A and B are shown apart, each in its own frame.
Chain A
Amino acid sequence: MNCNSTASHSFKYVTGAQNAWDMLSEEQSQKHITTGSGDLNGILGGGIHCKEVTEIGGVPGIGKTQLGIQLAINVQIPVDYGGLGGKAIYIDTEGSFMVERVYQIAEGCISDIMEYFPCHHDKSSSGQENLQPESFLAGIYYFRICSYTEQIAVINYLEKFLGEHKDVRIVIIDSVTFHFRQDFDDLALRTRVLSGLSLKLMKLSKSYNLAVVLLNQVTTKFTEGSFQLTLALVTASRQHLRRGWMLARKISFPSRIADSDSWSHSCTNRLILYWKGNERCAYLDKSPSLPVASTPYAVTSKGVRDAGSSSCKRVRVM
């Protein structure tokens, strides 16, 4: 502790910097947002990390939106019950956010908390009062986006919004590339605008100590003689990299070159959801600190859970 303080003292003249030891201790004290599945938390190093950008991709119907909603609920688990007790911002570009389903997942989350903390539940009546699905729903700020202009506007506006709502600990964008793929004509420009946005998101996650989760669609591409699935815009931006460079040179801003870099650099972690036989699996594709790994998970009526747990049996919903 002593050594720690002297170290930070000696570096005081470099503002904004933090020494590696401080960073480690901060990292260790940091709580993570649980995904609802222990196995999934395992490969993610405890859950979704604050101060980081995580991209989650997968084929239609695999459960991206489900995981997004689950995270928006789980971030609100009170501190007494081992959660972060924060709030969530959900930016919906696709219109797939169904409130009825959010309510169900909130109920599932509460019933699990009650199961894990039976004594807590008896003791503190005030805490119990808090645990109503309605209060979980009230903690999700929802933006419905209908064009890419609005998406850019929201991300710019977040800075101010977060200043007014300091308890927000997660920002979820479902899905980040949808509108950009529909109607943005100048592809080189699109690449630069998108990477500008991702830089902004990264900055927000650091300065407000929150997690940014980007849900992304997958698309197909032809490589090495076969069709493969790939996350949207990862390759597209590479294709147009050259064009972006030429443009950058033309208007002679050398700093643009760094910005026209591919989208795939812009997220810290990347998780891909896919089918493996009859199981849903998650594959950690990219992480600065964790090994590449994969694990099965399940989407149940209560939300995202471990595969093979008793609650995983599919119950007919509603």
Chain B
Amino acid sequence: MANKLVSDMCLPPHLAHLLAARRLTTAKDVLSLPEVELMSLLDAGLATARDAVCHVSEFACPPCQTALALLDERVRLGGGGRLATTLCGLDEALGGGIPLGKLTEVVGPSGIGKTQFCLKLALLATLPECYGGLNGRVVYIDTESKFSSRRMIEICQKSFPQIFRQEGLAQKMAGRILVMRPASLSDFTKSLEQMKVTLLQNDVKLLIVDSVAAFMSSENERGTTGFTQHPLRWALSFLKSIAELTRIPVVVSNQVRSQSNDDGYHYSFEVKRMGDGDGAERLESHLVAALGIQWAHAVTIRLVFESHSGQRFIKVAKSPMSPAVAFPFIVESSGITLLNDEGIDVSGPEITSIRCQGQNLLGPLPLEN
């Protein structure tokens, strides 16, 4: 819509000529100028400039739908559609699984099981619909070279022995997973740009990016605090639009960083009120998701993988349709297994915190390399 050509808009001839003469060819060119600048550029009066903006806006504006029409469309396309994770409790909490057409984020410390989760999802999506899959291809963008076909097939043979007894099924399913290994951020953005066409043409039903934070150099990390335009932000909004356009689930994993200061973030008005009375309460090891708060705003569903009190948990930290719940889990040869399908209600700041405490197997928490 943004790149719609002015020449395609059937504007009144005098406006069309005026805009063409000033090389204002797309809706973006016209609309990103303040009124007065447009006037000076067009060398025309306020009325003409307003008229032009008004016409172009009407053409560039996306169509309006009522929420009822949206609901009907959702029902027509098959009840919203989910990719079941086969973890019963989690599926129930998410209303059936990972929603199609949305961006889902998996975040947690290294070694906790994010990649295991992604591997299983990838294979699940390739399964025929009768086994709960999406019967399609999968694009797996592996930025950290952690994808292991052997492990993926092991997970699936262990979790669905009855299905994978069939000869050659593993080969067929694994053959549907396309793994991309971009080496740099520019590689990554380039492959994303090509993606849109690939996805539509090749019947791709799931896109996984593991992990999206890998390319964030230490130099760019300041982006979370200051105000730098980050190329990854572009990737973020692009991933979202891919999800919606092609109506497939997009799953991204994200790393964690240790927080650079002791307290959590607060608003200035809170700080004033709290004064110095509240210094006692500190979390032992406080982690924040890499890519910062801007990213967190943009994902529709956020699953936090964390460990505390000697157990690992999957936590639904953000979801428009379900309350926050946490499920204890273990990683076995068959992948991630929930210990309990009931889930523990989580409230308050615990919902967004990412804890990593007292886990021997993790060792001294290094940043993922």
Contact of B62 with A217 in the complex, beta carbons under 8 Å: no
Contact of B322 with A275 in the complex, beta carbons under 8 Å: no
Contact of B237 with A183 in the complex, beta carbons under 8 Å: yes
Q: Using a CB–CB distance below 8 Å, which chain A residues touch chain B?
A: 59-61, 65-66, 72, 90, 94-104, 134, 137-150, 152-154, 156-157, 159-161, 175, 178-179, 181-185, 189, 192-193, 196, 217-223, 226-230, 232, 235-236, 239, 251, 253, 255-256, 259, 272, 274-275, 277-279, 283, 285, 301, 314, 316-318
Report which residue of B56, B67, B70, B263 has the largest number of chain A beta carbons within 10 angstroms of its beta carbon.
B67
Q: Which residues of B contact A301 (CB under 8 A)?
A: 323
**B225 located at the interface, meaning its Cβ lies under 8 Å from any Cβ of chain A in the complex:** yes
Contact of A278 with B35 in the complex, beta carbons under 8 Å: no
Q: Which of the residues A100, A143, A147 comes within 8 Å of B80, measured between beta carbons?
A: A100
Contact of A94 with B61 in the complex, beta carbons under 8 Å: no
Contact of A318 with B271 in the complex, beta carbons under 8 Å: no
Contact of A227 with B265 in the complex, beta carbons under 8 Å: yes
| A84 CB to nearest chain B CB (Å) | 18
| Whole-angstrom CA separation of A279 from B347 in the bound complex | 8
| A311 CB to nearest chain B CB (Å) | 14
| B86 CB to nearest chain A CB (Å) | 18
Contact of A272 with B57 in the complex, beta carbons under 8 Å: no
| B129 CB to nearest chain A CB (Å) | 22
On whether A98 and B61 interact (CB within 8 A), knowing A138-B68, A175-B297, A226-B263, the answer reads: no
On whether A103 and B71 interact (CB within 8 A), knowing A149-B2, A150-B62, A175-B297, the answer reads: yes
Q: Which of the residues A61, A148, A159, A283 comes within 8 Å of B302, measured between beta carbons?
A: A61
**B34 located at the interface, meaning its Cβ lies under 8 Å from any Cβ of chain A in the complex:** yes
Contact of B35 with A196 in the complex, beta carbons under 8 Å: yes
Q: Which residues of B contact A182 (CB under 8 A)?
A: 233-234, 236-237
Chief secondary structure at chain A's binding surface: mixed
Q: What are 29 A-to-B residue pairs whose CB atoms are below 8 Å?
A: A59-B296, A60-B293, A60-B299, A61-B317, A95-B102, A96-B300, A98-B320, A100-B74, A137-B66, A137-B71, A140-B68, A146-B241, A152-B31, A153-B31, A153-B61, A156-B54, A156-B58, A179-B237, A183-B229, A183-B237, A193-B32, A220-B292, A228-B267, A272-B269, A277-B349, A316-B323, A317-B95, A317-B321, A317-B322
Report which residue of A156, A159, A232 has the largest number of chain B beta carbons within 10 angstroms of its beta carbon.
A156
Contact of A99 with B71 in the complex, beta carbons under 8 Å: yes
Q: Which residues of B contact A134 (CB under 8 A)?
A: 68, 71
**B352 located at the interface, meaning its Cβ lies under 8 Å from any Cβ of chain A in the complex:** yes
B228-286 contacts to A (CB < 8 Å): 229, 233-234, 236-237, 240-241, 243-244, 260-261, 263, 265-271
| B144 CB to nearest chain A CB (Å) | 24
Q: Which residues of B contact A218 (CB under 8 A)?
A: 293, 297
**B224 located at the interface, meaning its Cβ lies under 8 Å from any Cβ of chain A in the complex:** yes
| Whole-angstrom CA separation of A156 from B224 in the bound complex | 32
| Whole-angstrom CA separation of A283 from B56 in the bound complex | 39
B contact residues, total (Cβ < 8 Å): 82
Q: Which residues of A contact B58 (CB under 8 A)?
A: 153, 156-157, 160
Contact of B60 with A149 in the complex, beta carbons under 8 Å: yes
On whether A95 and B321 interact (CB within 8 A), knowing A182-B234, A192-B34, A275-B348, the answer reads: no
| B99 CB to nearest chain A CB (Å) | 8
Q: Which residues of A contact B151 (CB under 8 A)?
A: none
B280-323 contacts to A (CB < 8 Å): 292-294, 296-300, 302, 317-318, 320-323
Q: Binary interface profile of B, 1-41, with partner A (CB < 8 Å = 1, else 0)?
A: 11000000000000000000000000110011111110010
Contact of B68 with A137 in the complex, beta carbons under 8 Å: yes
**B226 located at the interface, meaning its Cβ lies under 8 Å from any Cβ of chain A in the complex:** yes
| B62 CB to nearest chain A CB (Å) | 6
10 additional A-B pairs beyond A60-B318, A229-B266, A277-B349, beta carbons within 8 Å, are A95-B243, A142-B70, A153-B62, A182-B233, A192-B34, A193-B33, A196-B35, A253-B40, A255-B36, A278-B349
On whether A94 and B298 interact (CB within 8 A), knowing A100-B80, A138-B68, A183-B234, the answer reads: yes
**B365 located at the interface, meaning its Cβ lies under 8 Å from any Cβ of chain A in the complex:** no
Q: Which residues of B contact A102 (CB under 8 A)?
A: 67, 71
Q: Which 4 A-B pairs have the closest CB atoms?
A: A278-B348, A156-B57, A149-B2, A153-B60
Q: Which residues of A contact B1 (CB under 8 A)?
A: 146-147, 149-150, 153
Contact of B60 with A230 in the complex, beta carbons under 8 Å: no
On whether A149 and B263 interact (CB within 8 A), knowing A178-B298, A196-B34, the answer reads: no
On whether A61 and B28 interact (CB within 8 A), knowing A228-B271, A256-B36, the answer reads: no
On whether A150 and B60 interact (CB within 8 A), knowing A182-B233, A272-B267, the answer reads: yes
On whether A220 and B225 interact (CB within 8 A), knowing A59-B293, A102-B67, A318-B321, the answer reads: yes
Q: Which residues of A contact B268 (CB under 8 A)?
A: 223, 228, 230
| B354 CB to nearest chain A CB (Å) | 13
Contact of B296 with A60 in the complex, beta carbons under 8 Å: yes
| B26 CB to nearest chain A CB (Å) | 8
Q: Which residues of B contact A259 (CB under 8 A)?
A: 34
On whether A61 and B352 interact (CB within 8 A), knowing A101-B321, A217-B294, A230-B267, the answer reads: yes
**B202 located at the interface, meaning its Cβ lies under 8 Å from any Cβ of chain A in the complex:** no
Q: Which of the residues B59, B67, B271, B350 comes within 8 Å of A137, measured between beta carbons?
A: B67
B332-367 contacts to A (CB < 8 Å): 345, 347-352
Q: Which residues of A contact B64 (CB under 8 A)?
A: 141-143, 161
Q: Which residues of B contact A251 (CB under 8 A)?
A: 37, 40
**B185 located at the interface, meaning its Cβ lies under 8 Å from any Cβ of chain A in the complex:** no
| Whole-angstrom CA separation of A89 from B258 in the bound complex | 41
Contact of A60 with B34 in the complex, beta carbons under 8 Å: no
On whether A275 and B349 interact (CB within 8 A), knowing A60-B318, A61-B302, A157-B58, the answer reads: yes
Report which residue of B226, B269, B320 has the largest number of chain A beta carbons within 10 angstroms of its beta carbon.
B320
